Structure 1
Amino acid sequence: YKALFGLRALLEPKNIVICINGCRLDFVCSSMGQQMSQGKVGYIIEIGKRATNRARTFDRCDDESKLTTVNKQMDYIRQWSESLKG
């Protein structure tokens, strides 16, 4: 999962986007998930809600409008995490 972020950072300046779930704005792989599944499984998240919708990191993203940059994805993950602290 971390390697995917590095690869994306190299590809983004060339306007290349990988069309997989791991590149979605609303996809997160927890630290425990990275250890247990080697980053192959994560969650589709929604602000204010706990993560329950599992998704495979490297499966094709069905909604291309959800694909985004590493920075925007990281910002969304931080916003989601903060929204759970209530």
Structure 2
Amino acid sequence: MQLSTPVILYLILVNLIAFALMGVDKSRARRHKWRIPEKTLFLSALLGGSIGSIVGMQMFRHKTKHWYFVVGMPCILIAEGLLGYFILNR
């Protein structure tokens, strides 16, 4: 089985959004402004944006001192990878 174009486009979009959310939240944190809830950051990863979240964490150096992000985001990526593997190979 092969990934369809809409699925690929969805994954690209959700990863770009997750990446942007990390950047926006970091910017707001620096300026002591209203922040994006951590639930929203995790939700964007759970919806398929784990790679974007991880890259955003590293690039913006955001949430890297919180163990639940440092451990949680890679765990979500692994779970999504396994889920994708099983869906594509059933």
Q: Is the TM value for this pair above 0.5?
A: no
TM-score, normalised on structure 2?
0.33
Higher alpha-carbon Rg: 2
TM-score, normalised on structure 1?
0.34
Q: Which has the higher strand share?
A: 1
